[in-house]
Amino acid sequence: MTPLAAIARRIRRRPLVAWKGSLRFRATLITTVATTVAILIAMAWVALAIQSDLFDSRREQVLEETNRAVDFAQASAAAEPAATDRAAIQALRNDMLGDLATAATTDLIVGMPIAEQSPDDVPAAFMLKNTVFEESMLSEGLREQVRARPENQWWQSIALPSDSGAPVPAIVVGRQLDLPSVGVYEVYLAYPLSDVARTLAYVQITLWIAGLSLIVIVAGIMWLVMRSVTAPIVDVSRTSARFASGDLAARLEPRGEDELATLARSFNQMADSIESQIRELAELSLVQQRFVSDVSHELRTPLTTIRLAAGVLHGDRESFDPVTARSAELLYDQVARFEQLLTDLLEISRHDAGSVHLELEEVSLSDVVEGVCESMRQIAWQHDTEVRFRGADGDDVASMDPRRVRRILRNLVGNAIEHGEKRPVEVTVAQNETAVAVGVRDHGLGMRAEHVSRVFDRFWRADPSRKRTLGGTGLGLSIALGDATLHGGTIDVWSHLGRGTHFVVTLPRGEGAEVVAPITVEPADELTPGDLRAGNGPETETLVVRKTSEEDA
């Protein structure tokens, strides 16, 4: 995309962004558009009303003026002695034209004799001192009305030519004029409406100026009103965002006694209450963390003694009777499990307190994973399960805490062995430019959707009645998620009833870059329907759960 195209795209998108993101802009624009439409409608109505009124007034004026001029010329002609020769007739007609020109305010006058009502020697048609108003401009309908009804005068609108070439609107009025001993004429007087047009143009310009000014004023007033209304709302939004991000001291400043001030005070009261409750919960959580940590530390000393004593009894169990020997074995196993539980509780308390620090090293993830798989082969052999390892194809060296990564993998591989139903467990390492990842896939029981979403909950088990063969404490996945989160990584889970479970641990190679997972959480390879356990067909549920540092926090 060229720079000009990019700029044009931003310009086109800016109004849309403002429309979606600004209540002030949206309200002002809607009000301005609605006001503009209303003002334009009002202006059009006023302009039409003024135009109609001006035309009606001018028409009544010219009708009255024409009637007066024709009556004056008729009366003057009747007062003259009867014309007996052609010269007298011509003089009488000329006097009639002079009277019309004197009594009327226009010199656009034409007249034609009515042949049916005039003698054969009546003078021909006349046109008084004008070059723009001609007989050809008169419609036949108007002339027929004038000839048929001598008692009335008739009018119509016409367009007169002008020097500029633009037509000039005008009103032409026709009426009969009877000259004794001369003949009957149809007389037409044309009155240009240029003064009316100028007045109407002035009125329209004034209306446009007033309308545009009113639109600008309304838009400005609306902007100021919306600014005064939305400014406190913006303050509430920003303060709420600060409060939600962890700034518990964020408060609003009430101004006045109106509704917005009441909102500010209510928000402050709510913030005070929430802050108080959060502090109480934080103190309670701190007390709980300290309690767990202190109890775990205090129990380690007597537990060490008990473990030593249980070890002695376990070592001499061959000399005991069967019941006592079995009791010594159970005591040794449960003391070991109890010790592991205390270790996990201490680790959880460190995670909760935020006192865990990574000891980072540049190591190969394939080497770490391979070492874990080798250490778990004895357990896999005891469960009649094969662990298949595949290292990365390229350089998978990343900055990590090897001890914690090993703990994550031991937990995931151990769970896969325990729940894999003696089927192969596949451990795969992959890498790309942004991250390294390891996937642990089993083909065992799998889990339902509601179970997958809770696999990282502390002390939670999908099937409490199922016997645990590896002596887990119920905290392993929670600790694994915490370790992955410390690295800035994630743990994704895919599970399907009857098809198994797939855990993918993704660790970023650097900070700031967008991480693209090298391994997809939903595996591409699945067993054929004949390998599925009876009763768990393809109609069972599938769910992918992604756990990140934000969700765990």
Tokens standing for residue 457 = 């909950």
Question: Domain coordinates of the chain in residue numbers?
Answer: 80-194, 259-349, 357-552
Is residue 497 scored above 80 in pLDDT? Answer: yes
pLDDT in tens, 210-244: 888 988 888 888 888 887 777 777 888 888 888 88
List residues bridging with 504 in a β-sheet: 439, 492
Position 8 scores a pLDDT of: 57
Tokens standing for residue 195 = 């003064």
Per-residue pLDDT band for 439 (boundaries 50, 70, 90) equals very high
The yes/no answer on whether domain 357-552 falls in CATH 3.40.190.10 is no
Position 220 scores a pLDDT of: 86
Bridge-based pairing of strands 109-113 and 183-192 is: antiparallel
Bridge-based pairing of strands 542-547 and 490-496 is: antiparallel
pLDDT in tens, 410-429: 888 988 888 888 889 999 99
Per-residue pLDDT band for 438 (boundaries 50, 70, 90) equals very high
Tell whether pTM > 0.85.
no
- From edge to edge, which strands make up the β-sheet containing 168-179? 126-128, 109-113, 183-192, 168-179, 154-160
pLDDT in tens, 351-379: 666 666 778 888 999 999 999 899 888 88
pLDDT in tens, 41-63: 988 898 888 888 888 888 888 88
Position 529 scores a pLDDT of: 38
List residues bridging with 179 in a β-sheet: 183
Is residue 444 scored above 90 in pLDDT? Answer: no
Per-residue pLDDT band for 437 (boundaries 50, 70, 90) equals very high
Q: Do the domains spanning 80-194 and 357-552 agree at the CATH topology level? A: no
Residue 122 backbone phi and psi in degrees, to 5: -65, 145
pLDDT in tens, 515-539: 888 888 888 765 443 333 322 333 3
**How many other β-carbons are positioned within 10 Å of the β-carbon of residue 475?**
20
The sign of the dihedral angle between the CA atoms of 410, 414, 420, 423 is: positive
Position 428 scores a pLDDT of: 92
pLDDT in tens, 174-185: 888 887 767 788
| Mean predicted confidence (pLDDT) in 70-76 | 81
Is residue 503 scored above 80 in pLDDT? Answer: yes
Tokens standing for residue 528 = 């054929």
- Which of 187, 189, 188, 179 minimizes the C-alpha distance to 122? 179
| Mean predicted confidence (pLDDT) in 75-93 | 70
The yes/no answer on whether domain 259-349 falls in CATH 1.10.287 is yes
Position 551 scores a pLDDT of: 41
Bridge-based pairing of strands 435-442 and 500-508 is: antiparallel
Residue 274 backbone phi and psi in degrees, to 5: -65, -45
Per-residue pLDDT band for 441 (boundaries 50, 70, 90) equals very high
Please indicate whether residue 123 or residue 312 has the higher confidence score (pLDDT): 312
CA distance 416 to 307: 29
Q: What CATH number labels 80-194? A: 3.30.450
